[in-house]
Amino acid sequence: MSVSDSSAGRQFDPQADRYAVIGNPVAHSKSPYIHAQFALQTGERVEYERLLAPLDGFVEHVQAFRAAGGRGLNVTVPFKLDAHALAHKLSPRAAAAGAVNTLRFDVDGIFGDNTDGFGLVRDIEVNLGVSLEGARVLLLGAGGAARGVVLPMLERRPREITIANRTAPKAHALVEQFEGPANAFGCLLNGGGPHAVDPRPYDVIVNATAGSLDAALPECDERAFGAGTLAYDMMYGAQSTVFMRHAQTLGARAADGLGMLVEQAAESFFVWRGVRPEGAPVLAALRAQLAAQPA
């Protein structure tokens, strides 16, 4: 069985440790470029490729890659739940998220982690310079993307997180799931349908819905956006998303999720190698690449 869509004809460094991103589709992934830059930056001997797995062949492809000497995988759509089920041991943040985006192959089994929330928090706080401590945060959406970032945000001790979702029961379920950690970190956690949004400006609004893929805006009171609001869309592209443009018309500062992509990758690299690369120069290079794309 062939386990790669990109290794044919390539000459791998036999002394390098092999990693990959696995998904379907996966040809568009920027992870090979990002991790190649991290390897150059840190001096780690790493080879990184793309693995295209059929929708019913995730486990077989992971096992084949591991058997061939692979050391770890990034996991993208639609396999994050499969990776969670496959892991023998989970990090606390992966257990809380109910999904895994990073697998590390240890001598005693497969370790599963989720670095998405860490990437979001680091991008907001380090790259964008907005502190979450004491902040009022609005999280739009209650699906897997939202679930993966609640605990890392709570760990930064915001004053309040409101989860607003088109279907209120899903938001209520997230609030119930994270009620314990919220209390421990002194954060007011609440949520419900679109009506749960406070009609006053928030410090940070995170769009965790997939609406930007279809140029659809999540339902949200426009009064939630203000001049001091950071409106963050987890999606990214060569152009600003519809959510970002909407936020800017309401006076807010807008940012996309490219920095989250880079920073979650840096955290994965740390999970694998014990070395933490700097995301900022890689993010700047990716921004330049996107800016060079024709509109």
Q: Which residues are annotated as a binding site?
A: 29-31, 76, 101, 116, 141-145, 165-170, 234, 236, 257, 264
Spatial separation of the C-alpha atoms in residues 205 and 137, rounded to whole Å: 6
Residue 206 is inside which H or E element, if any? Answer: strand 204-207
Spatial separation of the C-alpha atoms in residues 165 and 192, rounded to whole Å: 6
φ/ψ bin of 95: left (φ > 0), alpha (ψ from -120 to 50), beta (otherwise): alpha
Q: Residue type at 131?
A: S
Positions marked active-site = 80
Going by the annotation, the residues of the binding site for NADP(+) are 141-145, 165-170, 234, 257
Give φ, ψ of 273 to 5 degrees. -110, -15
Q: Of 50, 53, 9, 59, whose CA–CA distance to 30 is shortest?
A: 50
**What are residue 206's DSSP bridge partners?**
139, 232
Spatial separation of the C-alpha atoms in residues 12 and 8, rounded to whole Å: 10
Contacts of 165 (CB under 8 A, 6+ apart): 140, 141, 142, 146, 171, 191, 192, 193
DSSP 3-state of 253: strand
Going by the annotation, the residues of the binding site for shikimate are 29-31, 76, 101, 116, 236, 264
Compute the Cα dihedral for 16, 271, 110, 152 and give only its sign: negative
